């Protein structure tokens, strides 16, 4: 003898009630994960911003130091070239005019003394030599900046771009989870309609709710695992 219709209806509503509870729990978990990802994205963005500011500050400090050194180097180069030039002039006149040669050598020593006084003030990575035979000293400010930046372990350890990329990824995950939470909310709505709808429509709403719930659950697993 078939069961009375009210009994089947009660069982149907009981199962739908269980599904509603399950969907509510899953939706709550998804919303919580979205909140966590959003918080992580905010923290990573702040971390990246702080790292970028510190990176720019340290880079500017290095460039300012090299610019200062280059101003000192200009004076250093002038004194070195004068020293070499005066020595050459002294050699040329040494036989014909020993007195002038002595004066030129004295001036050369003064130029060299001034160059030696400036050289320790230059604080770059490799202090300049006293040049070649013509007094030309090699000094590349751009190469000096790269060398100092590469030797700064704190500067090389800063990765603001990586923090921003991680922040973007966390933000994307948060948006995806919000979309999944909307799907769980839709499943909950369908199941709620299944509870109160008439006999013909409630099955349709229940099936729709289950399909949306399963789809949302699969998407959630893909986002979490991925």
- pLDDT for the residue numbered 126: 61
User: Do residues 209 and 183 lie in contact, with contact meaning Cβ atoms separated by under 8 Å?
Assistant: no
CA dihedral 139, 142, 146, 152 (to 10 degrees): 80
Q: How many domains is the chain built from? A: 1
> Residue 131 is part of which domain span?
5-225
- Number of Cα atoms under 13 Å in the Cβ half of residue 84: 13
Residue, of 164 and 128, whose pLDDT is higher: 164
Q: Which of 82, 132, 142, 70 is nearest to 112 (CA)?
A: 82
How many Å apart are CA 187 and CA 26, to the nearest integer?
Answer: 11
C-beta of residue 100 within 8 angstroms of C-beta of residue 82: no
The Cα 117–Cα 187 span in angstroms is: 82
Q: What pLDDT shows up at residue 1?
A: 42
Q: What is the pLDDT of residues 19-78, one digit of tens each?
A: 999 999 999 999 999 999 999 999 999 999 999 999 999 999 988 988 888 888 889 889
Q: Are 26 and 213 in contact (CB under 8 A)?
A: yes
C-alpha dihedral sign at 24, 26, 30, 35: positive
pLDDT tens for 190-202 read 999 888 877 778 8
């Amino acid at each position: 003898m078939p069961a009375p219709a009210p009994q089947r209806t009660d069982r149907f509503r009981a199962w739908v009630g269980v599904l509603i509870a399950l969907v509510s729990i899953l939706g709550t978990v998804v919303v919580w994960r979205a909140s966590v990802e959003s918080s992580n994205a905010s923290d990573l963005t702040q971390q990246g911003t702080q790292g970028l500011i510190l990176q720019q500050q340290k880079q500017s400090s290095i460039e300012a130091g090299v610019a200062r050194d280059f101003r000192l180097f200009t004076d250093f180069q002038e004194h070195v070239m004068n020293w070499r030039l005066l020595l050459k002039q002294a050699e040329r006149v040494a036989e014909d005019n020993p007195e002038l040669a002595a004066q030129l050598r004295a001036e050369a020593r003064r130029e060299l003394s001034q160059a030696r006084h400036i050289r320790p003030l230059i604080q770059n990575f490799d202090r300049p030599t006293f040049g070649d035979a013509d007094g030309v000293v090699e000094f590349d400010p751009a190469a000096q900046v790269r060398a100092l930046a590469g030797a700064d372990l704190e500067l090389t350890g800063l990765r603001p771009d990586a923090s921003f990329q991680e922040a973007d990824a966390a933000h994307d995950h948060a948006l995806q989870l919000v979309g999944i939470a909307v799907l769980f909310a839709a499943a909950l709505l369908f199941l709620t309609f299944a509870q109160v709808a008439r006999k013909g429509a409630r099955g349709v709403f229940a099936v729709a709710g289950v399909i949306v719930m399963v789809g949302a659950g699969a998407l959630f697993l893909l986002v979490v695992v991925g």
